[in-house]
Amino acid sequence: MTEGSRGEGSQKEEIMAFEHISVLLYETVDGLNVKPDGIYVDATLGGGGHAYEVCSRLGSQGRLIGIDQDDAAIQAASERLRDYQDRTMIIRSNYCHMVPELKKRGINSVDGIVLDLGVSSYQLDHAERGFTYREDVPLDMRMDQRQTKTAEDIVNTYSESELYRIIRDYGEDKFAKNIAKHICLARQETPIHTTGELTEIIKRAIPMKVRATGGHPSKRTFQALRIELNHELDVLRDSLDGMIDFLNDGGRICIITFHSLEDRIVKTIFRRNENPCTCPPNFPVCVCGKVSKGRVITRKPILPSEEELEWNSRSQSAKLRVFERQISEAK
For residues 253-272, give the mean pLDDT.
Answer: 96
Which CATH code fits 147-230?
1.10.150.170
For domain 8-122+232-330, the CATH superfamily is Vaccinia Virus protein VP39 (3.40.50.150)
- Considering the chain, what percentage of its residues have pLDDT values greater than 90? 73
Q: What is the strand order of the sheet 247-257 is part of?
A: 88-92, 63-68, 39-42, 110-116, 247-257, 319-325, 294-296
For residues 8-16, give the mean pLDDT.
Answer: 42
Long-range CB contacts (< 8 A, 24+ apart) of 223-227? 223/170, 223/171, 223/259, 224/166, 224/167, 224/169, 224/170, 224/171, 224/173, 225/139, 225/141, 225/151, 225/154, 225/155, 225/166, 226/119, 226/131, 226/141, 226/151, 227/166, 227/170, 227/261
C-alpha–C-alpha distance, residues 20 and 128, integer Å: 17
Taking the domains of the chain in order of start, what are their residue ranges? 8-122+232-330, 147-230
pLDDT digits (tens, 9 = 90+) for 283-310: 888 888 889 999 999 999 999 999 999 9
pLDDT, position 208: 85
Using the predicted structure, report yes or no on whether residue 10 has a pLDDT greater than 70: no
39-42 vs 110-116, strand pairing mode: parallel
pLDDT digits (tens, 9 = 90+) for 68-119: 998 888 998 999 999 999 999 999 999 999 999 999 999 999 999 999 997 7
